[in-house]
Amino acid sequence: MRGLAAGRVRLAYELHRSSKHDPSTRLAKHAPILFLHGFLGSKRENRQMSRNLAKELARDVYALDLRNHGDSGHHPKHDYMEMALDVESFIGQHGLVRPTLIGHSMGAKTALTLALHSPKLVYNVVAVDNCPINLPIGPDFLTYLEGMAKVEQHTVRTHAEADEIIRQFELDPPVRLWLLSNFVKENGSPYLRLRVPLDILKKAMGPLGDFPYNSGNVTFQGPTLFLRALQSNYIPQSSFPLISHFFPQSEIVDMDCGHWIVQDRPKQFQEEVVRFLQKY
């Protein structure tokens, strides 16, 4: 296998195999699915849903860690094109043919970027509560980074100790649990280690509000599903014309929940994704 191109990060992943896996099959319905998490997330949060989709759709599902997240490597550049090129490199390394991309939030914009950058590489896309517009990151995410930095300043042995510190930021229990999943045990050490580079991610707040394509003739003609959370503002109605421009074969489905659709509405999420993917 050839080495990675300069600037590319080798992405950690979990492979959830279909029970009906047939490596000789090249039909689209048997093509693999790549599942991309959101900011400060990891492959772990999509583990159960990846298993469910692999079973119901009879397709292999790769849950990835994007750069500077989970078990993947760190790199000072953190924007959507860089992450999209990492995923493109992953597809090539593993010999995947026209995969489906499912991405939440940061992962959604990464998937949409790759679809526009390399439209022949991707079969279809499910974008979960994000879309191809410039929209500044909300202040909540800076609070998350501050809370994690506060924990990192202390030497803690358990997630319970870390939770006592991060409680000061008045975050909901599910949010605290999600943030604290980024603290892991170091081999041979009794203390928790933060596995994400806060300095890099804090600098990325600007780029993560952007989208690398603003206009022009670039489009993705493959089927694209946008799942829109009605209790968040990541897919405002004003974005619909731009969505149609970049992704003319798209549909938008509203879901009455907050930004974390996969966790808040897992049954409805799975039903919508299965319905969409089984059509093609």
Among candidate residues 203, 232, 250, the one where a domain is terminated: 203
Residues 18 and 127 in one domain: yes
* Within a domain: 5: no
The per-residue pLDDT for 248 is: 97
Residues 219 and 233 in one domain: yes
Residues 57 and 113 in one domain: yes
Which of the four pLDDT bands, split at 50, 70 and 90, describes residue 75? very high
Domain containing residue 127: CATH number: 3.40.50.1820
Residues 89 and 154 in one domain: no
Residues 146 and 132 in one domain: no
Among candidate residues 203, 232, 259, the one where a domain is terminated: 203
* Within a domain: 155: yes
Neighbours of 150 (CB within 10 A): 14
* Within a domain: 274: yes
* Within a domain: 1: no
Q: Containing domain of residue 150, as a range?
A: 139-203
Over residues 211-236, mean pLDDT: 94
The per-residue pLDDT for 186 is: 81
Residue 22 neighbours by CB under 8 Å, 6+ apart: 30
Residues 112 and 231 in one domain: yes
Q: CA triplet 113, 271, 229: central angle to 5 degrees?
A: 55
Residues 17 and 53 in one domain: yes
Residues 114 and 244 in one domain: yes
Over residues 36-62, mean pLDDT: 96
Backbone angles phi, psi at 171, to 5 degrees: -95, 150
- In 3D space, the residue among 126, 77, 78 whose CA is nearest the CA of residue 105 turns out to be 126
- 67: amino acid identity, one letter: R
Residue 25 has pLDDT above 50, yes or no: no
Taking the model in full, what pTM does it have? 0.94
Residues 36 and 112 in one domain: yes
Number of structural domains the chain divides into:
2
Question: What DSSP line would sit under the chain, residue for residue?
Answer: -PPPPTT--PPPEEEE--TT--TT---GGGS-EEEE--TT--GGGGHHHHHHHHHHHT--EEEEPPTTSTTSPP-S--SHHHHHHHHHHHHHHTT--S-EEEEETHHHHHHHHHHHHSTTT-SEEEEES--SS--PPPHHHHHHHHHHHHHHHS--SSHHHHHHHHGGG---HHHHHHHHTTEEEPTT-SSEEE-S-HHHHHHTTTGGG--S--SSS----S-EEEEEETTS-SS-GGGHHHHHHH-TTEEEEEESS-S-HHHHSHHHHHHHHHHHHHT-
Residues 117 and 239 in one domain: yes
**How many whole angstroms separate alpha carbon 88 and alpha carbon 117?**
10
Over residues 16-31, mean pLDDT: 62
**How many whole angstroms separate alpha carbon 112 and alpha carbon 95?**
21
Residues 174 and 196 in one domain: yes
Q: CA triplet 23, 113, 35: central angle to 5 degrees?
A: 40
**How many whole angstroms separate alpha carbon 279 and alpha carbon 236?**
26
Please tell me which residue, 16 or 30, carries the higher pLDDT value: 16
Residues 218 and 79 in one domain: yes
* Within a domain: 33: yes
* Within a domain: 221: yes
Residues marked as catalytic: 105, 259
* Within a domain: 7: no
The per-residue pLDDT for 174 is: 87
The per-residue pLDDT for 259 is: 93
**How many whole angstroms separate alpha carbon 277 and alpha carbon 274?**
5
